[in-house]
């Protein structure tokens, strides 16, 4: 069984058990909502009942799972060469619904609330943490000699580095030669009479 409902200026095709995001509806999480703007109701294998504009005596029962806000939408305005820029952000309020049934048919059982658990006695957690920290300390100590092995030995001579100044000096005469070269003057063209 399915239905097409209208809420928040939008239409949604729903079946029992569906979870949908709609624009904000009044109510708190765990509350019930009845959507009465039903445009169409249909069952598999049967012709759908279409309303004109609404189906009479039809309703979709839902449970509110969460009240929240959508992701931010940024509205940015700019007029080029005028120094005009405006930025605005907007987060639309929305409600998460679970469809329970349509006209009392196809009912889905609401999720059972977990029973409150009794507080368990706290186990000595400090000892395992200390054991873990001691276990992690041993590899760190082993890592130190490796780092010392990577350091350059005192006997080796420092590596020679290339002098970038020589490369720059070599490139200067090329650019200087180009800039010092006189530009060819264009000879006036002679017209033949």
Which pLDDT tens digit goes with each residue over 15-40?
999 999 999 999 999 999 999 999 99
pLDDT at residue 121 in the model: 58
Token duo for residue 75: 């509205």
In this prediction, residue 147 has a pLDDT band, given cuts at 50, 70 and 90, of very low
**Where in the chain are the domains?**
2-102
Taking CA atoms, 192 is separated from 101, 185, 186, 189, in Å, by 101, 21, 18, 10
């Amino acid at each position: 069984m399915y239905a097409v409902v209208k809420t928040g200026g939008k239409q949604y095709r729903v079946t029992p058990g569906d979870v949908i995001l709609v624009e904000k509806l009044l109510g708190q999480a765990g509350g019930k909502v009845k959507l009465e703007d039903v445009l169409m109701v249909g069952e598999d294998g049967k012709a759908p009942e279409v309303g004109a504009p609404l189906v009479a005596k039809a309703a979709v029962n839902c449970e509110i799972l969460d009240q929240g806000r959508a992701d931010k939408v940024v509205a940015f305005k700019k007029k080029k060469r005028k120094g005009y820029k405006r930025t605005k952000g907007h987060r639309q309020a929305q409600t998460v619904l679970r469809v329970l049934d349509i006209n009392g048919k196809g009912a889905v059982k609401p999720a059972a609330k977990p029973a409150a658990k009794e507080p368990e006695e706290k186990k000595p957690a400090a000892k395992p943490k200390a054991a873990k920290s001691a276990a992690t300390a041993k590899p760190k100590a082993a890592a130190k000699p490796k780092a010392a092995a990577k350091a350059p030995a005192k006997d080796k001579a420092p590596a020679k580095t290339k002098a970038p100044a020589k490369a720059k000096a070599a490139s200067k005469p090329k650019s200087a030669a180009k800039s010092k070269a006189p530009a060819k003057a264009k000879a006036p063209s002679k017209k033949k009479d």
